Structures are given as structure tokens and as C-alpha cells.
Structure 1
């Protein structure tokens, strides 16, 4: 199915199937709504497009998944950040898990039966994955994992976790990846209270957690390669969804009667349009050869800049909405936007990557 037909038919289906969220905007409600939307789209086959038949998909390019997520974001059917986790985790399982394991588990995630999380960051090892200290030691047919993860999105809801741990010496080569069942004895999850008041992130403590040997993703020492393959997915289809959501918020800013400042609003629109054009190029690259590299750091910089400018403009043009209210979407989203230049790789690190790896400016 070509993209135009896919979008038209999907819109027609969404027009006749009400998947609108309820008035409850708590995190519990958002996660339940995400499962509801995925389940309905899976049962109607929309969620299957863009994935291979080996995991229950109907084939077609990743652009079909991008269109699906865009339409979901445009209609406000699911929060775009948690919706997009499948774009990070499913390609990883397809590429690195034993085929039978991927065939069994991926449909559970795509179909809304399960939620998964990603266990990478650690205290003191946020953007420097090579310094991870969580360790996995071989014990017969199992690996025994001990350590701590932090900033693990939705860990308190997750049935599985794609986990990085150290199985060898220091540096990149000593890292391996596992698919961990979150109900395994020895796992403690502690949600983190954040500035914007939503406990989306959690700490995960692992104390002698036994992981079956067939849950190793790839071979021992493949963890860094898996991470480098996974991270660009955060900046491709996921970003396409996020940009659609931010365009929605710009429309909402106008609908909420903001002060008519054409220069400020035009600057926000231009930032979003620039990020969207860059993301479209990334989508084409992904469709051409399925591989993305350091150039996605440009996407990260542009999106973070656009997001923060949008919410700065909302604060300026809706006086008091952010500062004088303890509740409301604008306040919550403004506070969350402060982290846009931190999570997923800080803006400073992204600029260093652009300078060193794209512009060949050296280390200084």
C-alpha cells in the first residue's frame, strides 16, 4: 500500500472509530489509553504495517509507521513519548533477539498486551554509556545481573526491559544486552518524582537477578553495537511523532487566545517546520538503507530548540498560565520541555558529535 492510500484509509477508519482519551490525564490513565489504542489498531491491522511478517506484521516501509504515529499524535489519542517507545524497542528485538523470541513477544507489545522499557542510563553514566557499571556474570545457563538503572521510562508498568550490562572489561567492548522479564525476583522499581509532577521515570535496582541465557540479545560484547543501532531510532520515527504533537500544541496556543505576536508565533512555526523538514530527510534515509548515524544529532538539536521555543512562547503569550497555576497542560508541558536539551543526549554532547563526526573539527 502506498503512503497516500494508507493515510487516507487510516483517517477514514479513525473517523469512524472513537479512540479519544477520557478526561483523566494521570499517568495511569495515559498508559491504559496507550494500551487501548494499540490494541484497537493491532486488531484492525493498522499497527501491523511497516513490520515484517516474522513478528506478525504486514510488511511495508517504516514510513507507514511514521504516518500512523503522526495521525495518532495529531488526534491526541496517545501521549507521543510513550507511544514512540515501540520504535526504539521493536527494531532492536527484530535485529538482535533469537527469531522465535521476537516472534513470540513483539506482538504482545505492538498489540497493547504489554508495556516495555529501556534500561540504559545509570547514576553517573547518563550520556556516557561506555562507563556503565551494572554487571552480568555467567552462571551455568543463566546470567546474574546486579546494579542500578535510572531515568527508566515507565519501568513501573513494564513487563520487559531491554537492559545494558557489563559482561567484560571496561569500555565499549565489555557491554552486552539482555531482554529482562520485570517480574524476575531481585528487581525493585522506584518511581521518581519529577519537576513536572508526572512519575514517568523510575529507578530500577537489580540484586542478583537471574536472566536465562537465551535472553542475551546478540552475542556477549554486542551491547555497544546494539545501543548505537537503537539510539538513532529515537531520532527518526519517534521525532516525526513528536513534531506532529508540537504542531498540535501550536494550534492549541492560537485557540487559547494568546496575544497576537506574529513575529514570535512565526519563529515557532519556522523552528517546527525546519525540524520537520530535517526529520523527513531522516525518514527517507531510514527507508533507503535502514541505517542512521551521527547525522541524527542534527535532528536532536533542532527538535529540542523548537520544543523549548514553543513553550517559552506559550509562557510569554499566555501570561500567568505557566507561573500562576499549579495545574494545567501548559504548565506541565512547559516544565517537561526544560529537559528537552538533556534527555536522550544533552545538547552540548550533540553539538560535539556534529563538530567531530560530521564537520571533522577534531576533539578541541
Structure 2
């Protein structure tokens, strides 16, 4: 099935199957709606396209997954950020878990039975991921984990966690595990952010025992796993988010008048720029090319477009964010973090300068 056929058939199916979310924007309801949407899409086959048959998929190009997420985001059927976690964690498990473990676990994520989380950031190791200190020490056929993670999305709902730990010094001393979140010794405390949603959590690990068969890759593969995972955060996930931003922009245009055209045009230009850039990233991903530091450009452009769009919403709808539109208020406040989460804008620009433009390496003279 090619992309156009897939989109046409999917749209017809979505028109005939009501997946409208409840009129309740609490985070618990959003997560429940996510499971509902995934289950319906999996049972109908849509969620399985673009994934390998070895893990319960129906095959086909990965771009079909981007089309599916775009339609879900545009129709507002599931919150794009948490929907897109599937595009970050499932490819990682497929690449690094044993084939048997991937075949067992991936269908549970695709069909909505489970949520997974990503245990990377720590209180002293956010954008500086290589300085993480959560330790895993060998004990026979198991490993014992102690430490703390923070800003872990969906941790309070998650059944599994892709967890980075330190097993030796340096980059080569980072090792990843696929951990069951109901393992004794794990404590999760949700974090209330300024946009009023408990999406993130702190997670403590106190003598948590995990089997060696749950290691992702080999000891020391964790840094490479992280470098492979991060571009996925900036490919299909971004395409979903961009689709959502355009739906917000379309709504704003319908409520505006010709005097607002200049502001709307600037917001559209920023959104169109990242969509063009992300389209190229989707093409590279669909061609089987490896994504690398060039996705830092995508990250900077998306953060810029997101903040500009919600700044425009604030300017053209006076009082809505402050008083009358709680959903828009939450989105506006969340957009303030767009230049922080997933690697700060400053770090992304350093990556672009050093790894893409080869700057900063000359002599001091």
C-alpha cells in the first residue's frame, strides 16, 4: 500500500469510527484515551503498518507511521506528545533487545495494553546525559540498580522503562536495561509543572534487581543506544507535533480578521519552515538512512515555530490564555519549555556548529 492509498483508506476508516476524546482534559483521561486509540487502530490493522512482521507488524515503509500520527494529531484524537513516544521507544527496543523480548513486548505497546517510559535525565544530568550517575552493579545473573531519574514522562502510568545506567566510567560505561516498573524498589512521584499537567515524574531506584536478559545490547552500549534514540525524537515525533501545530494555526486563522494577516503570516512561515525540514527528515528515514546530528536543526526550528505560534495566539486572542481558554493556556505554558526539553536550544546550536559546520576547532591564533 502506497502513502496516498494508506491515507485515503485511513481517513475513510476514521470517518466511520468515532474515536473522539472525552471533554475532559485531565492527564489521566488523556492517557486512557491514548490506550483506547491505540487499541482501536491496532485491531483495525492501522497501528501495525510500518513495523516489522517479527514484532507483530504488517511491514511497509516507516513513513506510513508518520501519516497515521499526522491524522491522529490533526483530528485531536490523542495528545501528540504522548502518542509519539511509540516512535521513540519501540524502534529502540527492536534494535537493542533480543528478538524474543522484542517480539513479546512490542505488540503490547502498539495495541495500547502498556505504556513505556524513558529513564534518561537525572537531577544533575539533563542535557549533559553522559554525566549520569544511576548505577547498575552485577550480581550473578542479575544487576542491582540504585539512583534517581527525573522528568520521566508517563512514569506513573508506565509498565516498562528504557533505562540508562552507569556500569563503568566514561561514555563506554553506560548500559541500558528494559525494566519492569512494578519491580520492588522503584518509587515514582509525579511532578506538577507550571502548565498544570502531571506528565513528568521523579523515579527512585533502591536495590532494584533486573535480569541480565533485560539488558538492551551489551554492557557499554547505552551511549550508542541514546545516540540512536534521540534522532527518533526529532523525526516522526516532530511530524506529529507539526501536524498539531497546523491544526492550532488553522483554528486561529478562522477566528482572526485581515488586520491580523502579518502576525498569522509570520507564524505560518515558521511552521511551514519546520514542516519542510521535517519532510526531508521523513524522506531520509523512509530511505533507510541513518539520522544523526542534523536533526538538531529540526529541534531548533520546531521550538522556534511552537513558541512563535502560541505567542501569536496570545496576541490575537487577548485574555484567552489568561482567563477563558484553559487548554490554550496549558499549551502556551508548555511551549515555554520547547527550547529546554529534549536538549536545550543552546546545546542544539553547539551541535550544529561543531558537528555540522565544523566550527570551534581552529587554533586560538
TM-score, structure 2 length as denominator? 0.97
In structure 1, how many angstroms separate the alpha carbons of the residues matched to 2:321 and 2:93? 40
In structure 1, how many angstroms separate the alpha carbons of the residues matched to 2:22 and 2:256? 24
Q: Is the 8 A contact 1:66 1:240 kept in 2?
A: yes
Q: Aligned with 1:57: secondary structure?
A: coil
Q: Is the 8 A contact 1:258 1:318 kept in 2?
A: no
Q: Aligned with 2:315: secondary structure?
A: helix
In structure 2, how many angstroms separate the alpha carbons of the residues matched to 1:258 and 1:197? 31
Q: Which residue of 1 aligns with 2:306?
A: 307
For residue 348 of structure 2, the aligned residue among 347, 350, 358 is 350
1:317 aligns to 2:316 (yes or no): yes
1:265 aligns to 2:264 (yes or no): yes
In structure 2, how many angstroms separate the alpha carbons of the residues matched to 1:259 and 1:248? 19
Q: Aligned with 1:136: secondary structure?
A: strand
Q: Which runs of structure 2 are paired with 1:221-236 in the superposition (5 Å)?
A: 221-236=220-235
> Alpha-carbon deviation of 1:252?
1.7
Q: Is the 8 A contact 1:295 1:358 kept in 2?
A: yes
Q: Aligned with 1:66: secondary structure?
A: helix
Q: Which residue of 2 aligns with 1:329?
A: 327
Cα distance 1:324–1:19, how it changes in 2: closer, same or farther (>3 A)?
closer
Give CA-to-partner distance per residue, 1:189-211, whole Å, 9 cap, x none.
Answer: 00001000000000000000000
Q: Which residue of 1 aligns with 2:142?
A: 142
> Alpha-carbon deviation of 1:254?
2.5
Q: Aligned with 2:320: secondary structure?
A: coil
Give CA-to-partner distance per residue, 1:101-143, whole Å, 9 cap, x none.
Answer: 0000100000000000000000010011110000000001110
Q: Aligned with 2:22: secondary structure?
A: coil
5+ unaligned residues in a row in structure 1: which ranges?
none
Q: Is the 8 A contact 2:25 2:327 kept in 1?
A: no
Give CA-to-partner distance per residue, 1:122-166, whole Å, 9 cap, x none.
Answer: 001001111000000000111000000000001000000000000
Aligned length: 362
Cα distance 1:313–1:363, how it changes in 2: closer, same or farther (>3 A)?
farther
> Alpha-carbon deviation of 1:18?
0.4
Q: Name the Cα RMSD after superposition.
A: 1.1
Give CA-to-partner distance per residue, 1:278-329, whole Å, 9 cap, x none.
Answer: 000001111122410000000000000000000001111111112345x611
> Alpha-carbon deviation of 1:90?
0.4
> Alpha-carbon deviation of 1:258?
6.8
Q: Aligned with 1:114: secondary structure?
A: coil
TM-score, structure 1 length as denominator? 0.98
Q: Which residue of 2 aligns with 1:282?
A: 281
Give CA-to-partner distance per residue, 1:219-246, whole Å, 9 cap, x none.
Answer: 0000000000000000000000000000
Q: Is the 8 A contact 1:258 1:317 kept in 2?
A: no
Q: Which residue of 2 aligns with 1:202?
A: 201
5+ unaligned residues in a row in structure 2: which ranges?
none
